[in-house]
Structure 1
Amino acid sequence: MTVKLLSIMYLRESAPISAAMMAPVWAVLVLILLAAGPRSALAQDNERSTVYLVGSGNVALDQHMQSLLEKRLGAQRDLLLISDQQAALTGDAPIITLGSGAFSRIRQTNRGAPVLALLTEQHFLEGFASRSPGRISGIYHGAPLLKQALTGKAILPQATRIALIATTNSAKLYDRLIDQLPAYNLEARLFIVDDNKQLIPTLIRALSYGDFLLAAPDNDIYNPRTIKHILLTAYRRNRIVIGPSRAYVKAGVLASGYSPLPAIAEMAGTYLEVFSETGHFPEPDYVPDFRVEVNQQVARSLNIPLAPPEQIARTVEARLNDPGGANDE
């Protein structure tokens, strides 16, 4: 490319060339630069650092997150949306992925790239982050299970026992929670579902034990095929369901904690600043900003009085700071 540019400069100095004659030449040069990939194209006369973004495939969500991230990054960084194939050309620039699918694809395309994963669950990401500390990190999606459990306690102050259902493979999702609950005067029992035919019978046994059912982000148990049957079974036995995510509240779950997307973008910006200064991401974590969404229609049908979501969230935070429960509202 250098030889071609020198040749063009020589021609311009030695003989007059019309704009019409030069147009095809410059068009070829532009195509060459673009074909070199996003890294080469952006390197031209650009002193700002570049952050790459790989979307989830949900266009509305991807556009919203891109807008939030661009606002957070400001004028100091360029945020460039790229395809999976282009991720192989990003060098050591950080890549933000939206969702576990995008993260998995980028790991296949460019295993050495520093990746900041957003909208992924803790149990999915933490193994990758522990094997590549500082290079793989993220902002966990949703809310910690302990906060979800305390959301149920805030709604049902007299509750002391929590029902959990899982498969043999997903039982580990609840290990840490079960150890944490006694400090908050709560206990939980895990009921294992070995196959789909045992889901409802196992659920019935679990509901006879617990004051409410706590759902983790376990797609084998809680998915579009099963959630209707789980909710109907629980509500017929006058038991509420908490979690696993904000989306399930719209499907009929009574309540769930969540992290607002603007707070995720804000925390992602902080992680990128640390990476720019040190070459390493902080460890993955949840957003401190905890919110609660409730389904008022379900609450009315079960005759359960609900405090405003903001008050429920404050009660959860107060209980975290005072495990003994003196701060219950």
Structure 2
Amino acid sequence: MDALKPLWHRKAIIVLWCSLLFSVTSIADVAFVVRERQPMAEQMAKTIAQSLQIPSQLLTLGDNQVDWSSFDAIVLLGEPVLDAWQAPTDSPIVAVFVSRESAQRRSALLKSAIYVEPPLSRQIALSKILLGFDVHLGVLVSDAFAVSAADEVAKARRDELVNVYPLSDLNNLNRTLIELLADNQALVGVYDSELYSPNNIKNILITAYRQNRPLIGPSSAYIKAGSLASTYSDLDDVSKRLIEILSAGLKKKKWAKQDYNPYFQVRYNEQVGRSLNLSLPEVNDVVHALTKAEGDHHELP
């Protein structure tokens, strides 16, 4: 969880936000499905139930003799649960903590989904705020990402200072990376587990920082490894958006399309910033600027 905001403050924001929503009728019953029980899932199920004033159950894929059609909505937590889901049901299904690629692959199953990764356009905007709006940015894109997130790549291509470098063969990673770093002042990472695998990330970071080029993203998980900064959505952000989706879906039968989370945070690697002689702005100011820049493009109930 983000240590930049006190826990009481984050929880107060969730409670305040929930108070602005109409309570869902108490007869609604929501199932939260996990691969195995864990505190994070229990906390989310409790938060949603209390906020919407509805009963909820935390279940696992291995629970037998469950009548899934008896629930007014089913929330699948995590990609393994989404990938493994086979139970027949007419109940609306929402997936959270899943990649865009996985959600789109199973879109016929889902009423809605919240992508776990930040959009490429947001990461590019973050890069400009931190490094300058006249800085050339390179985006390394594998074939798999280009197919699953073609529209995000297209958004990047509309900016003349954003250069996209397709990578058809991981064996050519070093050659393509060196070319990118020679022509751009920073590398913007994409949420691609194959391209930014544990085997590749060390090489990518070493190569980039030898040329004094920072890596932005691809997610907050890479901050500790040496990425300069990233946007990300924490548990409170996901809960906040999920409350909106369930409230509108259960009350009005209006299910928001699967999409990126409009609520997010920013995280820095302060040590990397100092090594690059960068003065990093306050994270809250950056979040505000990014939110303002994005505008109200997401679908809200």
Instruction: Tell me the TM-score range normalised by the shorter chain.
Output: 0.7 to 0.9
The alpha-carbon deviation at position 173 of structure 1 amounts to 4.6
The alpha-carbon deviation at position 48 of structure 1 amounts to 3.2
Cα distance in structure 2, aligned partners of 1:175 and 1:150: 18
Q: Which runs of 5 or more structure 2 residues have no equivalent in the other structure?
A: 1-25, 296-301
Q: Does 1:306 find its partner at 2:284? A: no
* 1:240 match: 214
The alpha-carbon deviation at position 113 of structure 1 amounts to 4.2
| TM-score in terms of structure 2 length | 0.79
Structure 1 residues 306 and 101 mapped into 2: Cα distance closer, same or farther (>3 Å)?
Answer: same
Q: Does 1:102 find its partner at 2:67? A: no
The alpha-carbon deviation at position 147 of structure 1 amounts to 0.7
* 2:94 match: 116
Deviates more, 1:200-209 or 1:164-173: 164-173
The alpha-carbon deviation at position 233 of structure 1 amounts to 1.1
Instruction: Tell me, yes or no, if the aligned pair for 1:92 and 1:114 is still in contact at 8 Å.
Output: no
SS at match of 2:271: helix
Superposed CA offset, 1:276-299 (max 9, x none): 234452212233223211110111
Superposed CA offset, 1:5-56 (max 9, x none): xxxxxxxxxxxxxxxxxxxxxxxxxxxxxxxxxxxxxxxxxx7321111125
Instruction: Tell me, yes or no, if the aligned pair for 1:114 and 1:136 is still in contact at 8 Å.
Output: yes
Cα distance in structure 2, aligned partners of 1:304 and 1:219: 28
Deviates more, 1:292-301 or 1:173-182: 173-182
> Structure 2 matches for 1:163-202, cutoff 5 A?
163-173=138-148, 175-181=150-156, 186-195=161-170, 197-202=171-176
The letter for the 1-side match of 2:176 is T
Structure 1 residues 56 and 83 mapped into 2: Cα distance closer, same or farther (>3 Å)?
Answer: closer
The alpha-carbon deviation at position 256 of structure 1 amounts to 0.5
Q: Which runs of 5 or more structure 1 residues have no equivalent in the other structure?
A: 1-46, 322-329
Q: Relative contact order: is structure 1 or structure 2 higher (C-alpha 8 Å, sep ≥ 6)?
A: 2
The alpha-carbon deviation at position 172 of structure 1 amounts to 2.7
Cα distance in structure 2, aligned partners of 1:297 and 1:128: 40
Instruction: Tell me, yes or no, if the aligned pair for 1:292 and 1:309 is still in contact at 8 Å.
Output: yes
Cα distance in structure 1, aligned partners of 2:290 and 2:198: 28
Instruction: Tell me, yes or no, if the aligned pair for 1:69 and 1:269 is still in contact at 8 Å.
Output: yes
1:249 aligned to which of 202, 216, 223: 223
The alpha-carbon deviation at position 164 of structure 1 amounts to 1.9
Q: Does 1:70 find its partner at 2:49? A: yes
**Matched positions, count:** 268
Instruction: Tell me, yes or no, if the aligned pair for 1:178 and 1:188 is still in contact at 8 Å.
Output: no
Instruction: Tell me, yes or no, if the aligned pair for 2:124 and 2:188 is still in contact at 8 Å.
Output: yes
SS at match of 1:154: helix
Instruction: Tell me, yes or no, if the aligned pair for 2:266 and 2:283 is still in contact at 8 Å.
Output: yes
Instruction: Tell me, yes or no, if the aligned pair for 1:168 and 1:192 is still in contact at 8 Å.
Output: yes
Structure 1 residues 73 and 305 mapped into 2: Cα distance closer, same or farther (>3 Å)?
Answer: same
Superposed CA offset, 1:38-89 (max 9, x none): xxxxxxxxx7321111125472432333343233233xx1110112144852
The letter for the 2-side match of 1:204 is I
The alpha-carbon deviation at position 125 of structure 1 amounts to 0.9
Cα distance in structure 2, aligned partners of 1:144 and 1:224: 21
The alpha-carbon deviation at position 265 of structure 1 amounts to 1.1
> Structure 2 matches for 1:51-66, cutoff 5 A?
51-57=30-36, 59-66=38-45
Q: Which has the higher helix share?
A: 1
Cα distance in structure 2, aligned partners of 1:289 and 1:121: 16
Cα distance in structure 1, aligned partners of 2:160 and 2:287: 19
Instruction: Tell me, yes or no, if the aligned pair for 1:53 and 1:79 is still in contact at 8 Å.
Output: yes
Q: Does 1:140 find its partner at 2:118? A: no
Q: Does 1:277 find its partner at 2:251? A: yes
Cα distance in structure 1, aligned partners of 2:197 and 2:36: 19
